[in-house]
Amino acid sequence: MQSVRIYQCERLPGTTVSIASQNRSRFVAVNKQPDRFANRISRLQEEGAYAILAQAQALEAQGRDIIHLEIGQPDFQTFPNISMAGVRAIASGQTRYTPPPGIPELRAIIAEDAGRRRGITVSPEQVVVGPGAKPFLLLPTMALVGPGDEVIYPDPGFPSYKTVIELSGGKPVPVPLLEENDFSFDLEAFDALINENTRLIILNTPANPTGGVIPTADLAHILAAAERYDAWIMADEIYMRLVYGDDGATSIAALAGGRKRTIIVDGFSKTYAMAGWRLGFGIMPEALAEKVGLLLTHSVGCTATFTQIAGIEALAGPQAQVEAVRDEYQRRRDLIVAGLNAIPGVTCQTPQGAFYVFPNVKRFGLPSAQLADYLLQEAGVALLPGTAFGDYGEGYLRICYSNSRENIQAALERMAEALKTMI
């Protein structure tokens, strides 16, 4: 057998080039460390909801009946007028690139609609459209935060917050959300943590995972501190249209002095049941909007044209369906809160917004992840441990009630039965 000698020489960082002696003209690149990735992604983790969904689906594949209360997306179909606008756009050939920050008509109608709902004036140039709300968590953070900068964010909070801070090289500084405070920021902790290195404060109202709404007085307190330390505010308001009760939720951008340091993050996924269309937007001062537009240009290019056209229809079309869906969520919320409070060992506040409840399960004395796993295996109810949203989520579960009342009732009965023996 002919022996093959391998020559190695350093060519590119992390790679070697091997040359078979009998055919030196044919170079074969061999990666020395195929699993060596840039430091900035070393802490990336899967979102808890997708991990539990995968486990639930594996059980379903074995024939188990699982009730899904883990993934946070509307169970309603996209409203037909919106879907048909998208279909017509595709059929009529509106499938080319658009300007990276969005179709002018969409930016204009978002500026008008989002501004009116918050009681502020927004110009179309302040609006940047992207594929979902998520880009407006990442891209403004990339534009503003660098090494040495601290970013305050809610814990428990949407998992992407910590991730985007780490990706941009900043230092994540969690502020606890406390049950005794209706899951608003713990302002004492906040005051102790904000300092001259704080570059950005991330807020989420109404909140995922708690459903909490930050009271206007707390927003004013946070804004005053942001002004004192000249920090930016990122207000994730994706659940702004899902608020129960008459008062609604205040946008920090509507408070005096708020607009010039606030990035509003919002989108169509929750309000219009358009999660899979990928459509969201950010509203921010023009100079920052230009930079975020550039980041979009060089990352996603633009948002799907027909999706944007469907978005115009969503805002211009009838809004009664949004209200009807919200009323249905409220009935489900009331059902699940009452049902959870009837289970010995569980206590649950009545959240004012979004479609999540965050029951306290500390009485069971188990880590939340273990309890969530037990409920999946024993009761066939898929839900998330509070710790999927940060360390301060320990002792809680997150349940998404975007499911039919029949399924919610069945899940409550199964949970009550499974938890009976645990206390």
Binding site for ligand PLP (CB under 6 A): 72, 132-134, 158, 204, 208, 236, 238, 267, 269, 275, 280
**Rounded distance, CA 69 to CA 401, Å?**
6
Q: What is the amino acid identity at position 246?
A: D
Looking at residue 198, the DSSP 8-state letter turns out to be E
Unique residue bearing structure tokens 């060992």: 345
**Rounded distance, CA 203 to CA 310, Å?**
28
Distance in Å, CB of 270 to ligand PLP, minimum: 7
Q: Which is nearer to ligand PLP, 165 or 343 (CB)?
A: 165
Dihedral through CA 203, CA 208, CA 212, CA 214, nearest 10? 10
Instruction: List, in sequence order, every residue forming a beta bridge with 264; answer none if it has no partner.
Output: 235, 283
Nearest by Cα to 385 from 209, 212, 239: 209
Q: Which is nearer to ligand PLP, 115 or 206 (CB)?
A: 206
Q: Which is nearer to ligand PLP, 273 or 376 (CB)?
A: 273
Q: Which is nearer to ligand PLP, 17 or 322 (CB)?
A: 322
Closest residue to ligand PLP, based on beta-carbon distance: 132
Q: Which is nearer to ligand PLP, 234 or 415 (CB)?
A: 234
Distance in Å, CB of 409 to ligand PLP, minimum: 25
Q: Which is nearer to ligand PLP, 120 or 275 (CB)?
A: 275
In contact, 305 and 277? CB cutoff 8 Å = no
Q: Which is nearer to ligand PLP, 90 or 275 (CB)?
A: 275
Where helices occur in 251-319 by DSSP H, the ranges are 286-299, 305-316
Distance in Å, CB of 106 to ligand PLP, minimum: 15
Distance in Å, CB of 39 to ligand PLP, minimum: 25
With residue 399 as reference, give the H or E element that holds it: strand 397-400
Distance in Å, CB of 339 to ligand PLP, minimum: 23
Distance in Å, CB of 209 to ligand PLP, minimum: 8
Distance in Å, CB of 148 to ligand PLP, minimum: 26
Unique residue bearing structure tokens 């001062």: 285
**Rounded distance, CA 349 to CA 179, Å?**
8
Q: Which is nearer to ligand PLP, 232 or 389 (CB)?
A: 389
Sign of CA pseudo-dihedral 195, 199, 203, 209 = negative
Q: Which is nearer to ligand PLP, 49 or 143 (CB)?
A: 49
In contact, 258 and 252? CB cutoff 8 Å = yes
Distance in Å, CB of 274 to ligand PLP, minimum: 8
Paired tokens of 71: 């993934």
Distance in Å, CB of 43 to ligand PLP, minimum: 19
Nearest by Cα to 399 from 391, 407, 420, 164: 407
Q: What is the amino acid identity at position 110?
A: I
**Rounded distance, CA 368 to CA 361, Å?**
8
**Rounded distance, CA 190 to CA 387, Å?**
20
